[in-house]
Structure 1
Amino acid sequence: MPTRSDDDALAPYDAVLLLSFGGPEAPDEVMPFLRRVTAGRDVPEERLQEVATHYHHFGGASPINGQNRQLIAAMQAELTRRGSTVPVLWGNRNSEPFVTDTLREARAQGHLRICVVVTSAYSSYSGCRQYREDLAAATEELGLAAVDLDIDKVRPYALHPGFIAVNTEHLVESVGALDAADLPTTRLLFVTHSVPEAMDDTSGPGDGDGNLYVEQHLRAGHLITQGLAERTGVTLEQELVFCSRSGSPRTPWLEPDVNDRIEELAAEGVTAVVLAPIGFVSDHMEVVNDLDREARETADRLGVRFVRVPTAGTHPLFVEALVDLLQERAAQARGEVVIPAQADDGDMRPSTCDPGCCPNLRAALPALCGRD
């Protein structure tokens, strides 16, 4: 049985689970991975083959698993620094180690009270509730083997001060690479993963307000540009753009696409673009392919200078923010009164969700770590 002191800052939890999307790590894993990702969505085989070329361009491996290993090591080191002995486990939705296997092994090792961090900062079905569905499906598959597992999840953290701080830090450093003469004709593009418009419309509270996915990005972008101006005196015109659109062409997705927008900006006289992928916590395939390769090629073709801002990755400010969130959730589990940290005074997302929050528009599936 694992040992954990009752005065551990993460009590009552005896394990942390980093839950992520997953990705292939060899060429022969690419198509099985893509079929798991698109299961039940009627995506044509030719589309899967087209997406597979993105992975094969990088040797058939997504960078996400390696980055998650680094993040787990950094989180474990930060927990140790704070005096916690709770281990950080790892589970994925679409590739090994699968979350079901991780939970099975955790229980076998005596870890029964688990706090989950997902590698997505924003509120939406794909960024939050779907991970809760993954946890519910895993416990259902485990059956009696999961009957004594108690699993909670930290809240969405797009507006946590640490996440804003590290993105601001990286933007300040990236803008510093530009000449002062370039700034008047430079556009700052905050980039995130496109989702169907209907998914954004239903993101957030179940009272019909919705659109929290886009709203959180806009608020984060505002805070980051505000930080840039305060630290450097530089004010850049900024906007939110999207990448990695997929699915049926008949389904409306969030726009503008980053490549289309670079084309338009070049025609308007913009000479440099700074791409800040604030919608991603690390350099996923959507970043290294869709931005570092495709968007850069678009900018180069148009003669537009291209600067790509790093993602949060394993920056100490980000790692500290994730551990802060774990300690916040642990304090809530102990019944303590907690004032969560937030970088603005906007709507604070809870660690548990009411029914109807960021619903699954394709099927009604149970979701763990919430009130539904």
Structure 2
Amino acid sequence: MKKSLLFALAATVFAACSDDNGSTTPPPPGASDKYQGGFYVYNEGSYGRTPASVNYYDKTTGEWSLNLYQENNEGEKLGNTGTVAVCSDDNVYFVSKETPWLVEVGLEDFLKKSALPDGALTGQAYGFALIDGKHGVLTTSEGAYSVSLDPLELGDAFFEGRGLGGDVAVKDGRVFLTASAGEGDVVKVYDASTLAFVKDLPAAAKTGFAEAGGMLWAAAGNKLFKINTTALTSEEVTLGDDLSVYYNQWAYTPTGLHASKKGDALYFVEGSSSGYDVYRFTIATGAAEKLFPAPEVDGTRYSVYGAGLNADPESDDLYLFYTADWGGHATIYVVDGTTGEQKKSFPYTDAEYWFPSMILFR
């Protein structure tokens, strides 16, 4: 990596509008988006048959808008096997395991702005996080890379090799990466402005990250890892009752570890080889309690697919993807994040096998 690389960690600039007193205030997030009033679902796609895709659900009408990327960008397509989607103020970034790996789309019109060119990577892309309005981090099966935004341009690899788990977070001027057994089960820390290595934290995390209680959290097996992002220390919290925080050990998928709206609890799906029941971990008490049992239909116990669990940051409702056929005809369950009460359930369209990866709230 070029040690001279410096990122300008500037404050986010909002388009301003005037109120009656002549002062300027930023518009609320998503005010100029083409699609409003609901949430996006980013799909893996069916490998070899359909690429990754994006659908939108309008909570008011209960209607789906399908294949948004293809519908708004004639002749364009996303890569095979979508993984994560991340929003900035103006854009959304879609990661797929195969070319074009990373695509930048404007939220105002949902038109493609840029993508990584053919040949940019030799491995699969996994996760993505924004550093600021001009830079991000892309994790892959071959290492972690800096990325310039708008237009997208792949920078240097600041970690090289196959040791990454794929999850990435940026907080307090640091970049945090989960690392696999090949790296000794650690969380690797880098400086966000230079991408210089800082230290390894002894947190044997397999999935992450979630921000709660002023800390960054990750998990593996029956343990949660509480990371102090300023002091750069970590602490293990052991879950009781033989619980195991589910993650996909067979292929990279987004984390299902999420924080509550108040930041006083963590949500996770329990299971080892598959994910089933949803648990709520209360930070103050250190106790994990079952919040929502996996549905059983006609004697078949449903399991989650993709991230499986996504928390709505506005309502604190949990949106769960459950399926009986490994991601085919999935059902979305909406659950109160405090009481576990099921508010509703509805099919994830009847159109085709989407293989949902994650829900993106805006």
* Structure with greater helix percent: 1
Which is bigger in relative contact order (C-alpha 8 A, separation at least 6)? Answer: 1
Same fold (TM over 0.5): no
* Structure with greater strand percent: 2
Normalised TM-score (structure 2): 0.27
> Larger Rg: 1 or 2?
1
Normalised TM-score (structure 1): 0.26
